[in-house]
Amino acid sequence: MPNFKGQPQHQAPGRVALVATPETLAPTHAWALASGLGTVCGVATPGPVAPGALASVGAIEHLGTLEDLATAHVRLGIRTLVVCLPSPLREAAARASTIARTIGLRLVQLPCAFDAAPATPTGIGADLDPEALIGRGGAALDASAIARARRALTGKRVLITGAGGSIGSELARIVAGFQPESIILMERSENALFEIDRQLAARFPRVPRKAMLHDVVEHESTAAWLQRLRPQVVFHAAAHKHVTLMEDHPSHAVNNNFFGTRSIADASADCGAERFVMISTDKAVNPRSVMGATKRFAELYVRSLNGRSSGMRSCMVRFGNVLGSACSVIPIWTRQLAEGGPITVTHPEMTRYFMTIREAASLVIQAGALTEQEAAGASVFVLDMGEPIRIVELAERFVRLHGMEPRFAPDAPGPNENAGAGAPMIDVVFTGARPGEKLNEELAHASESLRPTPAAGVMAWAADPSEILPRRMAQLVEDLSAARWSPDRDKVLRLIRNHAQGVGEAGPKPDNTNKDLPKIASAGLSAA
């Protein structure tokens, strides 16, 4: 009698077939390759697909639809069926389970990444596809990317800070699929840590893991823990990310974003880690906010580590807003829609770069897996996020994907074509840009030049190394040390401004452009 639902089979590996959609194929293929279940021989789809739709993993045989699995089983000697379908296709997943049972295949059913979002109010946002919202497909791990990730992660001790957050938890799920020696989940929120630890226990029971309730700001204990655990790869995702909150609490941003990064980066280098990957943000480029400035300072510190003799390769990965992450626009608008509105948008001309959680985490893995030769000495990577999207247009798409029409005030500075007669309407209101916010984000400083990398969707920025002199970094650390515990907001802002002009001032000018706004000059930490 065969086992089902991924129960262990004590038999030699055989041939594996996948059941997936074009969207779920790449992560399913990556999991199957890393699982050791056997050779992947093809993929069956719930229905017919267009030519080239399965090209995300390179050359793979399309076995046909679910009804063709029995024939493929006889022809290819398939022993295991790995199924990963989104929740709207639950009937197809049930059919695949029935077929596997009928023809005697081992069945492994994987959770779908698109179903990983937190629960939302009834019927609102439950099946919203983030890729449909941003109007483009996400990045998939191709064969070469999978090979690089396996080389960097398989058999390694991997530590993830901020492991309970949106990006940190997705990194943990992806890393677990590449069979690391162990995963260390470092997180200061007990509830978030409990949840990601529970998820990995259920989905990857054979991957050893350690759940650590710990704050990276605690320098001495961080160093002691890393000396004991000896991680080889470190993904640093822990940070304060909310712009407006950090404007009111700048000392927290200094302490967590800068000194937390310094603590974990130093400890990683001292314990002999091979790779250190910091998750950064486009808000660190010419930052207008306290959050962006402290992330910029953290970037500079991490880059300064590459001059040490420890042998650790350090890099940063910048990306923009992540759809579906905690307190991002999707959960906020979802709640507003469930409450009957209005939908709030800060400014009619504000734009942002957007990615999905899965896309961002996958590209972080790719960037972190590049060898020094492949990166050609670059230490800053920027993810390809397409073109910036106007927030108001995103709000319109969000409303229409829920079968409604947006309604703007007659004098609102935005679209006023209230089409869709007969569709229910919901108000969209402009609340104004908040302190620290820019109308448009940037991806690179003037001193950084773009070049491609072997990883599709990952660009490398090569910066002038003279920008980070040891004496400048020492001065930055000394000055910020005076701010990290201070309750005096104005004093902390002054100290930050000493190194970053333009921080803590009012939002965009009334003319709706930011061309005249002061920018944080990278020269604030450059060679003088």
Report the half-sphere exposure of 244 (CA within 13 A, side-chain side).
8
Pairwise CA distance, residues 139 & 136, whole Å: 10
Pairwise CA distance, residues 116 & 481, whole Å: 39
Q: Is the dihedral of CA 56, 324, 166, 316 positive or negative?
A: positive
14-115 against 139-322+354-387+444-499: fold identical: yes
pLDDT tens-digit series, residues 382-417: 877 778 889 999 898 888 877 678 888 765 554 444
Could you give the residue ranges of the DSSP H alpha helices within 185-249?
190-203, 219-229, 243-248
Pairwise CA distance, residues 528 & 521, whole Å: 13
Pairwise CA distance, residues 243 & 435, whole Å: 8
On whether the CB atoms of residues 120 and 326 are closer than 8 A, the answer is: no
The DSSP annotation for 430-479 comes to: E--PPTT--SS--S--TTEEEEE-SSTTEEEEEE-GGG--HHHHHHHHHH
pLDDT at 448: 62
- Region 189-201 average pLDDT: 95
pLDDT tens-digit series, residues 102-153: 888 888 888 765 444 333 333 344 446 666 677 665 555 667 778 888 899 9
Q: In the structure, what pLDDT confidence band is assigned to residue 469 with cuts at 50, 70 and 90?
A: low
Length of the chain, in residues: 528
Question: Token match 């029935």: residue?
Answer: 98
Report phi then psi at 184, rounded to 5: -110, 115
pLDDT tens-digit series, residues 339-380: 888 999 999 999 888 888 888 888 899 888 887 777 766 778
Q: If you average pLDDT over every residue of the chain, what do you get?
A: 80
Pairwise CA distance, residues 85 & 83, whole Å: 6
Going from N- to C-terminal start, the domains of the chain cover 14-115, 139-322+354-387+444-499
> Which among 265, 289, 203, 218 is positioned nearest to 497, based on CA atoms?
289
What's the burial of 2, exposed, middle or buried (CB within 10 Å: 0-12/13-18/19+)? middle
Among 156, 283, 295, 438, the one annotated catalytic: 283
Q: Is the pLDDT of residue 54 over 60?
A: yes
Alpha carbon distance, N-terminus to C-terminus of the chain:
75
Instruction: Name the CATH topology of 14-115.
Output: Rossmann fold (3.40.50)
On whether the CB atoms of residues 201 and 174 are closer than 8 A, the answer is: no
- The listed range with the strongest mean pLDDT (264-273, 307-316, 445-454) is 264-273
Look at domain 139-322+354-387+444-499 and name its CATH class.
alpha beta
R_g of the chain, CA atoms, integer Å: 24
On whether the CB atoms of residues 332 and 325 are closer than 8 A, the answer is: no
Cβ neighbours of 515 (radius 10 Å)? 9
pLDDT tens-digit series, residues 249-261: 999 999 999 999 9
Q: Is the pLDDT of residue 169 over 90?
A: yes
- The listed range with the strongest mean pLDDT (11-20, 40-49, 334-343, 503-512) is 40-49
Cβ neighbours of 197 (radius 10 Å)? 20
Q: Which residues contact 242 (CB under 8 A, 6 or more apart)?
A: 291, 327
Provide the pairing of β-strand 313-319 with 275-281. Answer: parallel
3-state secondary structure 50-77: CCCCCHHHCCCCEEEEHHHHHHHHHHHC
* Distance, C-alpha 195 to centroid of its chain: 18
CA angle (516, 520, 521) in 5-degree steps: 105
> ω before 342 within 30° of 0 (cis)?
yes
* Order of all β-strands in the sheet with 405-408: 343-345, 425-430, 405-408
- DSSP-derived 3-state class of residue 94: helix
Phi/psi-derived region of residue 377, left when phi > 0, alpha when psi is between -120 and 50, beta in every other case: left
Cβ neighbours of 378 (radius 10 Å)? 22
Report phi then psi at 22, rounded to 5: -55, -30
pLDDT at 145: 78
Q: Is 283 a catalytic residue?
A: yes
Cβ neighbours of 172 (radius 10 Å)? 27
- The listed range with the strongest mean pLDDT (9-18, 82-91, 200-209, 418-427) is 200-209
